[in-house]
Structure 1
């Protein structure tokens, strides 16, 4: 088993919502880490550390690689369980529900977001509608799970907050590029307030990517894939 005090390296990118999840988890726990920025050309270390999927993020802790963003978040929560902040709920039912909503988010949001970004074929209108439908369900989930608190996790950022909040920068970038609204105060007022609190949280505000950087990155990726720019 990896020792708690050993050096940690994160193979990831400032532009990746999945890497952002891990960085937020580190910050919540007050842990130091080294971010090794991956580029379009994947490093040999990444290929060796995640030979199955060859994707970021990968946490290397004491020489041992851990893959998949939410699995890394859980690993961090378990290894540093004695810190003041718990990412997953302590109650078994609440913990199961947090995992359920995190999986729902990843089932619905990333494929639709990639279509809107022009990285996958499909109808932009249908992709936007799928995200909006998911957010309306999450609005209801937040009302129930949050129980009047600021976050899904209660008084501070937790598991579901990390799962959804990592996409907020890309939501804003796509809104600016395409001229539509994803988080609409008239439809999801609770999530709009939640999003503002999430982005202002100490664990988040220093690592949330700038919208203009994401827009420029999306343009470069489109150029590499020879995809026409968004209208």
Structure 2
């Protein structure tokens, strides 16, 4: 637990997968913190002060020391509060956890956003098919890597937390666009993992309400068509 001498703040916004990562880690560790709601369209002076380089959320502030980038924040939290570790203790397994978490951000997330932005382009079936195939390939790597109940073993760990985007946000993209990306038929292990992860009592408490996030995605998706 954070002591009385410690000040812990999290600058974030509802609906951000990256903010959700940090919230899950803090909840797992039992760390009390102050949540500072940010408006991304009108960034606060506090956000610009704490993250002048990227000017993005989340920003984690521990005793007035700000840290940016969600995966970096997760490592800092795990190094600072030792209870309920989320990274493996063995160096090789720690390296693998970092590798797959980076893979999720640089491949799965980026491909999903690329697919999201291109799916409304009705006259580019070839590009859309290419994006779908690359997304399937990335998800297959994770399907093959999943050996136990969670990526972290019997308990959720660093990679599971990093993959909250896959479990919660990719199904939203599916429902909005009609694309079938993460299904029990295509990726049975990954799909089962996603259900267990989303139903974990700690994770459940940290996920944003689905309906407002879905409505936001749907409105944005519809606006892409109207702009054509």
Q: Do Structure 1 and Structure 2 share a fold, with TM-score over 0.5?
A: yes
Decide whether the 8 Å contact of 1:88 with 1:158 is kept in 2.
yes
| Per-residue Cα deviation, 1:76-126 (whole angstroms, up to 9, x for no partner) | 001001x1x110000001001111111111111222222343399994443
Tell me the distance in 2 between the aligned counterparts of 1:229 and 1:25: 39
Work out whether residues 150 and 193 of structure 2, in 8 Å CA contact, stay in contact via their aligned partners in 1: yes
Q: Where do 4+ consecutive residues of structure 1 move more than 6 Å? A: 119-122
1:142 is aligned to 146
Q: Distance in 1 between matches of 2:60 and 2:108?
A: 23
1:170 Cα offset (Å): 1.4
Q: 2:100, 2:57 → 1: CA distance?
A: 22
Aligned equivalents of 1:62 and 1:229: distance in 2? 47
C-alpha root-mean-square deviation of aligned residues, in Å? 2.5
Partner of 2:154: 155
- TM-score, normalised on structure 1? 0.86
Residue 52 of structure 1 is matched in structure 2 by: 53
Structure 1: gaps (5+ residues):
144-148
Matched length: 220
CA 1:91 to 1:52, structure 2 compared with 1: closer, same or farther past 3 Å? same
Q: 2:204 aligns to what SS in structure 1?
A: coil
Partner of 1:35: 35
Equivalent positions of 1:73-222 (< 5 A) are 73-81=74-82, 83=83, 85-118=84-117, 123-143=127-147, 149-221=148-220
SS in 1 for 2:79: helix
Contact kept? 2:108, 2:139, Cα under 8 Å: no
